[in-house]
Chains A and B, each alone.
Chain A
Amino acid sequence: MIGDGARERGNLTSAWDSRGQSPRRTKCDDGETRSGLYPVKFLRTLASLRLTLWLIALLGAGTAFAYLREGARTWPLVAPLLLLALNLLAAVATNGVFRRQIALLVFHLSLIVLLLLVAAGRLTYLNGHAGVTVGTAFDGVLAASERGPWHTGELSKVSFVNKGFTIDYAPGLQRGATRNHVAWADMQGHWHEAEIGDQDPLILENYRFYTTFNKGFAPTFRWLPKAGEAMYGSVQLPPYPGNQYSQAAEWTPPDSSVPVWVMLDFDETVLDPERHSSFRLPERYKLIVRIGSTRHEMQPGDSIELPDGRLEFDGLRSWMGYRVFYDWTLPWLLAACIVAIASLGVHFWQKFAVKPWDA
């Protein structure tokens, strides 16, 4: 059933049509065939189309394995991909098909370029999360992040202001459109504004900021330390409505040693599961503040004295959680994909144009 993989077959050209020519041989003193033979022979073996086939199968198995074992995501994919790349490069170097069928060559080369770009992306990417309270600026600090070993971007230079957002909810608390108003200054100091959300990230210096379903309430304070300057700050409570029943957090004011525990207490229904609604701040609320064993109830404007300063409750705001993503390869990946698909299309077009479909 299985042929030997050579020769012409209909209008298909075989992969081994250059096999007939024997490689140039040089005899050595000891009678062994040497240089000029082994490298070429090795290249040809490495270039085998049958090897491609089994490496594709290996990549499939590696993909399934990586999927089933979350801890082993790298090598089951990287090893077969590297082998495929070597196999392909060897084929490009030795297989005459690629010289006669330029579109096919371009397609396969773009696969290699894609692979290199993905690798470069993995080495330099950044992926993280940041919460920004409305009315304040993203200050370059991420709550959590992972990055490639060679990430060199300067996130600390990136800044934007969260100017507020709306999120629609359909009955059943089904989240609808997110519209987030943001502003930022460019290098020349000119301010720009935009609405981002759902499909539209904010892109600054190759960093992409995506709104997420993480958002919530943030009590805002003015902290007047006994020594030092007064400052504003906010405490982002756990995401709402996901953590509806645990709207509390503990934090310590800057340069203070006293931990402060705050809880937002409100009775009203902010998001009604029965009807269409929008994310908003509660209208009637109080802030429960516990310091050590003392409990306080605060309204906007109230303040409490701590051993090392005074804490004034300024009011309640909301915060938005952003996903931050950096990968400079994105436009290049797209370009490589376009070249790949165009060359594949041209290859098949040329091949099939020879004989009509309904011949």
Chain B
Amino acid sequence: MERELQILWTAVAAYVLAGIIAVIGVVLGKRPERAVLGLTLTGLALQTVSMGLRWERLGHGPFITMFEILCSNIWSLMCAYTFAYWRIPRIRATAAIVLPLMFIMLGWLMVTHPGEGHYPPTYNTPWLFIHIGLGKVFLGAVLVAVGLSCVILMRQAGIGITRLQQLPPNPQLDELAFRCMAIGLIFHTLMLIAGAIWAQDAWGRYWAWDPLETWAFITWLTVAFTIHARLAYRLTPPMHAGLILAVFVTAFLTFFGVPFISATPHQGAV
């Protein structure tokens, strides 16, 4: 386990360094894009190795304990953001916001106990990977939208206007954020469907309003609300950005809060 953790902490260091360089780049008006991309890719490679070693050792994937769930979500969020960073060069300066946001999860990971948990028999199914994978794409898409929204909100608040000039104007950021939310809606819907199929197989019911199901549905509604609000009220980019942040907070609480405060965590571990 020591070696896994050492590799993981090296990955965390690479992410943190990437974040710091991204922030310094924006502050100094520079574009250290290769360094940021290189460091996040290095972090991802190391984290993949660490997670692979743990998987090999325990015989199951990172789905059980808080440590594993946090770790795998950091990995998927970093994958999603790195992909957007690579494919959409004109939004790269958002790394100065998104990577520091990730520091919160990295810090949380570092104080979480890396012990093992029991792998329930209902997890022996491909639906586990499908359901969780779809949820990760949803969260990744919303993270990219959050990065764009934060830029819009910072501009609105008059923070770093000149420094953020290298990013496109608000309407374009807004359109991109909307596209991310659209992807988010598709993947969240798919995640709910896959979850219902799995729940039917595993527990004999496709939907039972358990705490996680309830909050996942509320999160889905917040996405539908945001998309319709933008159409119905012709929301300005800052208003739309505010709603996107609200979706992110709801999704974050659903993914990382509900399973750990509820006595019946999705019945999975029972």
How long is the Cα–Cα vector from A176 to B225 in the complex, in angstroms? 42
A49 touches B221 (CB 8 A): no
* Any B CB within 8 A of the CB of A150: no
For A, the interface residue count at a CB cutoff of 8 angstroms equals: 58
* Interface residue SS majority, chain A: mixed
Distance, CA A66 to CA B88, complexed state (A):
42
B185 touches A210 (CB 8 A): no
| B197/A334 in contact, CB under 8 A | yes
| A174 to B120 CA separation, bound complex (whole angstroms) | 8
**Counting CB contacts under 8 A, is A56 at the interface?**
yes
Q: Which of A61-79 contact B (CB under 8 A)?
A: 63-64, 66-67, 73
Q: Of the candidates B88, B179, B201, which one forms a contact with A352 in the assembled complex, judged by CB atoms under 8 Å apart?
A: B179
Complex Cα distance, B229 from A56, in Å, reads: 10
Would you call B206 an interface residue if the criterion is a C-beta within 8 Å of the partner chain's C-beta atoms? yes
A5-B233, A177-B124, A199-B202 given; A357·B221 CB < 8 A:
no
Q: Are A15 and B189 in contact (CB under 8 A)?
A: no
A67: nearest chain-B partner, CB-CB:
B214
B232 in the interface (beta carbon within 8 A): yes
Q: Is the CB of A53 within 8 A of B228?
A: yes
| Interface residue A170 (Cβ < 8 Å from any Cβ of B) | yes
A50 to B175, CA, bound (A): 21
Interface residues on chain B, number (Cβ under 8 Å): 51
Which A residues are in CB contact (< 8 Å) with B176?
A: 357
Nearest-neighbour CB distance to chain B for A357, whole angstroms, equals 6
Could you give, for residues 317-359 of chain A, a 1 whenever the CB lies within 8 Å of some chain B CB and a 0 otherwise? 0000001010000100110010011001100100110010111
Q: Tell me whether A357 and B87 are in contact in the complex, defined as CB-CB below 8 angstroms, given that A67-B211, A334-B197, A337-B193 are known contacts.
A: yes
Comparing B24-32, B67-75, B106-114, B235-243, the segment that makes contact with chain A is B235-243
Of the A-B pairs whose beta carbons lie under 8 Å apart in the complex, a sample of 28, sorted by A's number, is A1-B235, A2-B235, A2-B239, A3-B233, A5-B234, A6-B234, A7-B234, A12-B230, A12-B231, A14-B234, A49-B228, A49-B231, A49-B232, A53-B233, A127-B204, A178-B121, A198-B202, A199-B201, A201-B201, A323-B203, A323-B204, A330-B200, A330-B206, A348-B179, A352-B179, A352-B182, A355-B175, A357-B88
Question: Given contacts A64-B218, A210-B203, A352-B179, could you give 20 more A-B pairs where the C-beta distance is less than 8 Å?
Answer: A2-B234, A2-B235, A3-B235, A9-B234, A10-B171, A50-B232, A53-B232, A63-B214, A66-B214, A210-B204, A323-B203, A325-B205, A341-B186, A341-B193, A344-B186, A345-B186, A348-B186, A357-B87, A357-B88, A358-B90
**A contact residues vs B (CB 8 Å cutoff):** 1-7, 9-10, 12, 14-15, 48-50, 52-53, 56-57, 59-60, 63-64, 66-67, 73, 127, 170, 172, 174-178, 198-201, 208, 210, 213, 323, 325, 330, 333-334, 337, 340-341, 344-345, 348, 351-352, 355, 357-359
